[in-house]
């Protein structure tokens, strides 16, 4: 859903229906379940506030089994017109503050709301998704899923060339 910035009414715009954002995710099993966003324009600055809920199909980071992750996220973003990116122009380095992390940019007179929501979903995903907190993962020797079968593989011996590093590890 692309919104023309110049056409956002003074009282703002509401997006409350998932049907307004069809085909948001290309990935199978991913869906936008609920959305409630308010978009307001203050000159060239746009604020997007509200919440959304989504479902994502992921793989456990330890055992690689599929899992479904429910995402519920609050949104509070400020969008500004994209700064000029003229070739050869140099911008001074500026240290970002905490408020700057909530700022994004839009191009021209259009705000791609679908891109913005996809980006927010990606940011809300867990860094290391787990099928369960005590997931045993995969055996590094046979590759078996330790959640399904007890692995009886003997641990590998340390390469003798790495023995000095093992000694350092034990000193900690």
Task: Answer yes or no: is pLDDT of 113 > 70.
Answer: yes
Per-residue pLDDT tens for 16-75?
888 888 888 888 889 888 999 999 998 888 999 999 999 999 999 999 999 999 999 999
- What is the Cα–Cα distance from 35 to 54, expressed in whole angstroms? 9
Q: How many CB atoms lie within 10 A of CB 86?
A: 7
Task: Answer yes or no: is pLDDT of 86 > 60.
Answer: no
Task: Answer yes or no: is pLDDT of 134 > 90.
Answer: yes
Task: Answer yes or no: is pLDDT of 102 > 90.
Answer: no
More confident residue, 60 or 10: 60
Angle made by CA atoms 55, 61, 67, in degrees to the nearest 5 = 30
More confident residue, 63 or 82: 63
- Please state the rounded mean pLDDT for residues 89-94: 62
Helices (H), the chain: 113-124, 163-171
Task: Answer yes or no: is pLDDT of 85 > 60.
Answer: no
| Cβ(32)–Cβ(116) below 8 Å | no
Helix (H, G, I), strand (E, B) or coil at 118: helix
User: What is the pLDDT, as a whole number, of residue 137?
Assistant: 93
Backbone torsions φ then ψ of 34, nearest 5 degrees: -155, 145
Task: Answer yes or no: is pLDDT of 90 > 90.
Answer: no
Confidence of residue 167 (pLDDT cuts 50, 70, 90): confident
- Please state the rounded mean pLDDT for residues 6-13: 86
Q: What is the pTM of this model?
A: 0.73
- What is the Cα–Cα distance from 98 to 96, expressed in whole angstroms? 7
């Amino acid at each position: 859903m692309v919104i023309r910035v110049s056409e956002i009414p003074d009282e703002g715009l509401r997006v409350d229906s998932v049907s307004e954002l069809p085909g948001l995710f290309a990935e199978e099993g991913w869906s936008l379940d609920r959305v409630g966003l308010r978009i307001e324009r203050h000159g060239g600055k746009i604020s997007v506030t509200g919440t959304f809920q989504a479902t994502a199909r992921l793989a456990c980071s330890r055992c690689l089994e599929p899992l479904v992750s429910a995402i519920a996220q609050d949104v509070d973003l400020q969008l500004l017109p994209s700064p000029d990116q003229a070739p050869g122009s140099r911008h001074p380095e500026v240290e970002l503050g905490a408020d700057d992390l909530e700022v994004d940019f839009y191009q021209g007179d259009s705000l791609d709301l679908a891109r913005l929501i996809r980006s927010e979903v990606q940011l809300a995903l867990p860094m290391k998704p787990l099928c369960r907190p005590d997931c045993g993962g995969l055996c590094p020797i046979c590759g078996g899923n330790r959640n399904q079968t007890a692995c009886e593989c003997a641990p590998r011996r340390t390469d003798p060339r790495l023995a000095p590093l093992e000694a350092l590890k034990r000193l900690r």
